[in-house]
Structure 1
Amino acid sequence: MSTTAAPALQRGDAAFRRVAVGLFFAGFTTFALLYATQPLLPRLVEVFAVSPGTASLSVSVTTGGLALAIIPASALSERWGRRPVMVWSLAGAVVFGLAAAVAPSLWLLLVLRALEGVALAGLPAVGMAYLADEIDTGHLGGAMGLYVAGNSVGGFGGRIVVSALNDLTGSWRLALGGIAGVSAVCLLVFWLVLPPSRRFTPAPVSTGALVGEVRAHLGDPVLRRLFAVGLLLMGTFVCAYNYVAFRLLGPPFSLSDLVVGFVFVLYAVGTVTSTVAGRVSGRLGARTTVLAACGVAALGAVAMLAPVLALVIGGLALLTVGFFAGHAVASAWVGRRAEHGRAVASGMYLFSYYVGSSVGGTLGGVVFGAAGWSATVGFLVLLVAGTAIVVLPLRPPPTAAPPARGEPSSA
């Protein structure tokens, strides 16, 4: 239940800065832990003598666990409060991350990684709902962009830490333990900095009410399409980053693990892109911005076909720009569109988003193993084209009040 007793935060407010910093560190921790095994996939293939697709399950089961738990976690935040659920979520994820580092077998590693994903489920949807509750609508796009920027910094920072530790120590276990330790420090900062909710009062949520919210959001044709956007974009992104390491480690490039790890610095492009995308969408419109993001991502995917290192890296950078721009705008659009049950709406978007990660990453591994890199790039282009087809009929959202439910989704 929301209350308007406290004014919504705007850019320049001291509390706005605390929210931005706190959610930035939360986003960092989420992505650093969630994709910690991604740069280790070639090492897991070697150590456990499995296929790339099987090794990629160490990523897919984590995002799958998150996807399955994200809506129940969103409901818990309605009862227990946004901040407590986020803090306990990250704490549990750090514990499972440390345990995964000492797993004696691949299958136990997968179980612990799945539990890590379940623990992380309390953060993403609740963080988006927290922002939608506390931040003024006119400043929500920028705030959401900063949160997504934290995701991108966690994405490349976590992968660089893992890659460096793996290369320097030769131990994937020390690499996973190291990033879990870094995440513990980020959790402490988040706990100290993030202010309690000012515009939200926890209230019990019954199963019937939760099901009703889910049905109401699924009945909105605009939200359905936005959920599909999250699924397709994230599938594209994770597939690209899962298998580009195999491309760069093999001929004609034959780069070292450490050098390939620094490819994840391209996530820094997402830091800038996600922050700017919210503001750009205010001028060009959300639909136009997402369509442009799809075009950039597709161009980047095609460039990665070239047997030239600079073009592969440049193409991955363009794909990263397209992904973060599209995701930042679509996630903010969900927050504006949902008139009620924002945590549930955000949870449904992120359920689709992380299902896309699991399915896209796993199917990409099947394609890569069966037909190689060129077919994998074709799969990426197909996912991006599907995103554009889904977005094209949408009407641009208003910048002030959300539209009434049931408004037609096509022009």
Structure 2
Amino acid sequence: MHLAVLLCGTLLYAALYSTVPLLPALERLFGAPHGSAGLGISLPFLALVLLSPLVPRLRLPVGRVLGGGLLLVGLFGVVAALAPSLEVWTLARGLQGVAAAAVPGLSLALLPRLFPNRAQQMAGIWVAGNVLGGGLGRALGGILGEALGVRLALLALTLPLAIPALWLLRARDTLDLPAPRYSLSSWPLYWLGFSLLFINFFVANLLPYRLEALGLSQSQIGGVMLAYLAGIPGSALTGRLAARFGEVRALRLAFGVVAAGLLLQFPDRPWLILLGFVLMMAGLFTAQGLGGAASGRGGSGVSGTYVAAFYLGGTMAGLVYPPFLHLGAGLALGLALSVAALSWGLAARALQR
């Protein structure tokens, strides 16, 4: 069960994010208008927001909940890959999100029980695996889509979910979690989760428009997005950073790096924007490892709510960013800096045991 829990996030996010580079091709496949496939991206994450806090109420063995969730994500992924119309594809994507809600919150809550002496380190490794899965999912989605076609590409990145799913469903471990407890007093931790994906998606959504205006090609802009992989070292080393500096100082250091990355992006110079984006991602995913470990200590109710707040931040970023296309990069980066500064100030309260 130990390895399966660590592996499930990597394969889950590879499957969910593999669709992103294939959106135009999917619209051509279904003969749909430009931009009409966007709902298939937002629906799964809306389901994660709404259902993640409720999943811990399922009084079933956690292995069955995790394994069943992963297996359903894979099955609905197959339906999406073979869908005859955009409407069926969108519905299947939404159902993938419903099933995926079984995974992140429970995984974080399981880590302190599976790795009692290394919970924080393992939370960082779990986040690093998610970063790797999301990065590879985006990259392989585009590569395989061009080589094999959209349908085979989606199948190839969905079917591996069966490995940890069947592993967890057959696990003999009878590890159960205590009944979930939901705590409003943990709101600083929930804000932390909200701020992480808000800053991430808000800046990343605006970046292609700014870089294109500065003369970069689509392939160059795609290369800039490889900055997401900068989150792997920081998140993987979360445990060591916390051991050396303490959790609160490590979290404030991470948000200090985020702030430095945002400040570097103010000038209209592509190389500074790239460097700042890399630093921002490194800081965000380090903070995400620390926040994920803290949410796991709070039990399944707190971790489920934390995951919901995290994805709510991403959903809000998608709603907020369009006006900033006209307001300018300075105001947008200023908003992101304000969110990071508030998270820096709430670090001690967010990580209180």
Give the alignment's TM-score, normalised by structure 1. Answer: 0.75
Alignment of 1:144 with 2:128, yes or no, is no
Cα RMSD for the two superposed structures: 3.1
Matched AA of 1:233? L
Residues 363-378 of structure 1 aligned to structure 2 (within 5 Å): 363-364=320-321, 366-371=322-327, 373-378=329-334
Aligned with 1:252 (options 188, 206, 215): 215
Partner of 1:65: 47
Secondary structure of 1:394's aligned partner: helix
Q: 1:193 to 1:69 in 2, by over 3 A?
A: closer
Deviation at 1:153, TM superposition (A): 0.6
Partner of 1:352: 309
Matched AA of 1:325? T
Deviation at 1:58, TM superposition (A): 3.7
Give the gaps of 5 or more residues in structure 1.
Answer: 1-17, 398-402, 404-411
Q: 1:189 to 1:112 in 2, by over 3 A?
A: closer
Alignment of 1:302 with 2:275, yes or no, is no
Matched AA of 2:215? P
Distance 1:247 1:182 in 2: 31
Contact conserved, 2:15 with 2:158, CA < 8 A, in 1?
A: yes
Distance 2:113 2:251 in 1: 24
Alignment of 1:162 with 2:162, yes or no, is no
What are the superposed Cα offsets for residues 274-298 of structure 1, whole Å, 9 maximum, x if unpaired?
1112221122121211122112112
Equivalent pairs, count: 351
Alignment of 1:394 with 2:326, yes or no, is no
Distance 1:276 1:107 in 2: 42
Moved more, 157-166 or 96-105: 96-105
Deviation at 1:134, TM superposition (A): 1.9
Distance 1:197 1:249 in 2: 53
Deviation at 1:147, TM superposition (A): 0.9
Alignment of 1:272 with 2:233, yes or no, is yes
Q: 1:159 to 1:93 in 2, by over 3 A?
A: same
Distance 2:27 2:80 in 1: 17
Contact conserved, 1:61 with 1:114, CA < 8 A, in 2?
A: yes
Deviation at 1:113, TM superposition (A): 2.4
Aligned with 1:327 (options 279, 285, 288): 288
Q: 1:374 to 1:150 in 2, by over 3 A?
A: same
Contact conserved, 2:257 with 2:280, CA < 8 A, in 1?
A: yes
Aligned with 2:188 (options 203, 209, 225): 225
Partner of 2:114: 134
Distance 1:101 1:361 in 2: 25
What are the superposed Cα offsets for residues 199-234 of structure 1, whole Å, 9 maximum, x if unpaired?
73478x6xxxx6xx22xx12x3xx221011001111
Deviation at 1:65, TM superposition (A): 0.7
Contact conserved, 1:24 with 1:151, CA < 8 A, in 2?
A: no
Moved more, 109-118 or 246-255: 246-255
Give the gaps of 5 or more residues in structure 2.
Answer: none
Matched AA of 1:377? L
Q: 1:166 to 1:252 in 2, by over 3 A?
A: farther
Alignment of 1:185 with 2:160, yes or no, is yes
Distance 1:63 1:202 in 2: 25
Partner of 1:289: 250
Contact conserved, 2:192 with 2:350, CA < 8 A, in 1?
A: no
Moved more, 182-191 or 310-319: 182-191
Deviation at 1:41, TM superposition (A): 6.0
Matched AA of 2:343? T
Distance 1:103 1:369 in 2: 34
Contact conserved, 1:23 with 1:190, CA < 8 A, in 2?
A: no
Contact conserved, 1:61 with 1:358, CA < 8 A, in 2?
A: no
Secondary structure of 2:343's aligned partner: helix
Distance 2:177 2:241 in 1: 34
Contact conserved, 1:56 with 1:242, CA < 8 A, in 2?
A: no
Partner of 2:65: 85
